[in-house]
Amino acid sequence: MPFRILRKRVLIPGRTSLLELEAPHIAASARPGNFVILRVNDKGERFPLTIADADPVSGVISIVFLVLGKSTALLDSLPEGDCIADVCGPLGRATHIRKQGTVLCVGGGTGIAAMHHIAKGHHRAGNRVVAVIGARSGDLLLFHRELSSFCPEVLVSTDDGSVGRKGLVTEILETRLAEEREVKEVVAVGPVPMMRAVVETARPFGVPVTVSLNSMMLDGMGMCGACRVSVGGEIRFTCVDGPEFDGYLVDFSELQQRLSALKEQEKLSYELYCRCGGRHDQA
């Protein structure tokens, strides 16, 4: 079954895009926190992306990606109407969502996309969701409008100060946690250093922090262990035990290290792809 790209929104040319895919069976059962494993073509590698949104009625799922190597570059090269060879999912445990009050959802970079789906789930469960989003500059802020549609507040920070407060999301988070003592949970999705910093920011306030990890994966269903991560001193598989974990228990240094495990080969693959003008069949 082909997975057609129904709509492509280029968020940052050559760097970040949002794709809406025709995937009715995935859309029908996808819940916040789930991810998919994709393979762009029949020579492609399998890689995970969090589902940014899913509509069971139209049968469409949305994914957002940052071009980091050959596979994401290849994905970015596909125009609307083209098909992706394989999309498998929904995978991973869904976010544990219950009605509890105010939830602060923090997203950084493309992590905002994944956070969006989780925030929407919390909103639908009756929680008051305050979104905190950050990026290098204002034009890189994803899902700002979508979040604004259901969050009473969307707090923004950018590195260059072009939109919102100049600085880091953790600065906004710290201020907010100091002002508002009724925050029941913080959710953080983004680069590893950001998630680690969110945990450290929340620690003095004693607020639970849920993080969604972006480990390297192969099958995505517990059969290889590439995504293993230390949580509370024990080995956990991000794909079947996660992708969400208690942020206080995650060994972020190890996670960061493991993300670079195949860096040299990923670099070689990407360089060959770029040298061939982005034509994978000549790589």
Partner 1 sequence: MNSIAAAEAGMIKPKISRVPMRCQEPAERVRNFEEVALGYNLEEAITEAGRCLNCKRPLCVGGCPVEVPIPAFISAIREGDLAEALRIVKSTNSLPAVCGRVCPQENQCEGKCILSAKKNPIAIGRLERFVADHFIALEREVSPASPPDTGLKVACIGGGPASITVAGFLGALGVKVSVFEALHEAGGVLVYGIPEFRLPKAAVVRKELSALASLGVEFRTNWVGGKTVSVKSLFEQGYKAVFIGVGAGLPSFFGVPGENLNGVLSANEYLTRINLGMAYNFPAYDTPVYKGLEVTVYGAGNVAMDAARSALRMGAGSVRIVYRRTREEMPARLEELEHAVEEGVILEELAAPLRFEGDEKGRLRSVVLQVMELGEADSSGRRGPRPREGVFRELPTDLAIVALGTGANRVLIEETPELKLNGRGYIEVNERNETSIPGVYAGGDIVTGAATVILAMGAGRRAAKAIAERLGLLPA
Residues that bind partner 1 (CB under 8 A): 1, 25-26, 29, 39, 43-46, 70-71, 85-91, 218-219, 221-226, 228-230, 235, 240, 254, 257-258, 260-262, 265-266, 268-269, 272, 280, 283
Q: What is the greatest pairwise CA distance in the chain? A: 58
Q: Which is nearer to partner 1, 39 or 136 (CB)?
A: 39
Q: How far is the CB of 76 from partner 1 (least distance, A)?
A: 15
Q: How far is the CB of 229 from partner 1 (least distance, A)?
A: 8
Q: Which is nearer to partner 1, 178 or 272 (CB)?
A: 272
Tell whether omega for the bond before 2 is within 30 degrees of 0, i.e. cis: no
Q: How far is the CB of 115 from partner 1 (least distance, A)?
A: 22
Q: How far is the CB of 258 from partner 1 (least distance, A)?
A: 6
* Number of Cβ within a 10 Å radius of residue 177: 18
Q: Which is nearer to partner 1, 48 or 107 (CB)?
A: 48
Token pair, residue 45, equals 């590698």
Tell whether omega for the bond before 56 is within 30 degrees of 0, i.e. cis: no
Token pair, residue 76, equals 């970015």
Q: How far is the CB of 6 from partner 1 (least distance, A)?
A: 18
Q: Which is nearer to partner 1, 24 or 138 (CB)?
A: 24
141 CB-near residues (< 8 Å, 6+ apart): 112, 133, 135, 156, 158, 163
- Name the region of 188 (left: φ>0; alpha: ψ -120 to 50; beta: rest): beta
Q: How far is the CB of 40 from partner 1 (least distance, A)?
A: 8
Helices (H) and strands (E) in the chain, counts: 9, 16
How far separated are the first and last CA of the chain, in Å rounded? 26
Q: Which is nearer to partner 1, 73 or 131 (CB)?
A: 73
Q: Which is nearer to partner 1, 137 or 265 (CB)?
A: 265
The whole-angstrom separation of Cα 74 and Cα 67 is 9
